[in-house]
């Protein structure tokens, strides 16, 4: 993405989230991640995936309702756009609820690692 990206901010922000998740996936492909680093990463993920993302999805539901009131919204096939928006809203709300459950699992995983510390092994250099 460039600074001259003139897509709506909601689209750009979603693309930034994808880029961040792509970087996270790449960073976790290696085995040399310490438990305390996983602990910290889980804290960040809880804030993003378990808090911000569900809120953002619910905000999108609200935006869809606003769009229906503020614009002349039409479906390509002539059907009622309110039905499509209602269906999308149901799925977005369902996804938000599932992400709140993800937060609970991330919290449990982080709690399990709370007291962990990793130090370099003395025997690593002697092999």
Q: Which two tokens stand for residue 87?
A: 């269906």
Taking only the tens place, the pLDDT of each residue in 79-124 is: 999 999 999 999 999 999 999 999 999 999 999 998 877 777 887 6
Taking only the tens place, the pLDDT of each residue in 29-62 is: 887 888 889 999 999 999 988 889 999 999 999 9
Helices (H), 28-126: 35-47, 53-70, 81-112
Of the candidates 98, 107, 102, 99, the residue with the CA atom closest to the CA atom of residue 43: 107
Task: Report d(CA 51, CA 46) in Å as an integer.
Answer: 6
Q: What is the pTM of this model?
A: 0.80
Task: Report d(CA 10, CA 47) in Å as an integer.
Answer: 19
Task: Report d(CA 106, CA 104) in Å as an integer.
Answer: 5
Residue 107: burial class (beta carbons within 10 Å; 0-12, 13-18, 19+): middle
């Amino acid at each position: 993405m460039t600074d001259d990206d003139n897509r709506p901010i909601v689209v750009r922000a979603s693309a930034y989230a994808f880029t961040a998740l792509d970087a996270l996936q790449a960073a976790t492909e290696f085995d040399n991640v310490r438990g305390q680093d996983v602990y910290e990463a889980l804290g960040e993920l809880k804030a993003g995936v378990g808090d911000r993302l569900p809120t953002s999805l619910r905000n999108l539901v609200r935006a869809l309702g606003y769009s229906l009131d503020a614009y002349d919204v039409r479906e390509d096939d002539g059907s009622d756009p309110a039905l499509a928006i209602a269906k999308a809203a149901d799925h977005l709300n369902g996804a938000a609820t599932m992400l709140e459950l993800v937060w609970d699992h991330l919290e449990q995983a982080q709690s399990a690692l709370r007291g962990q510390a990793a130090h370099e092994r003395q025997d690593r250099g002697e092999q």
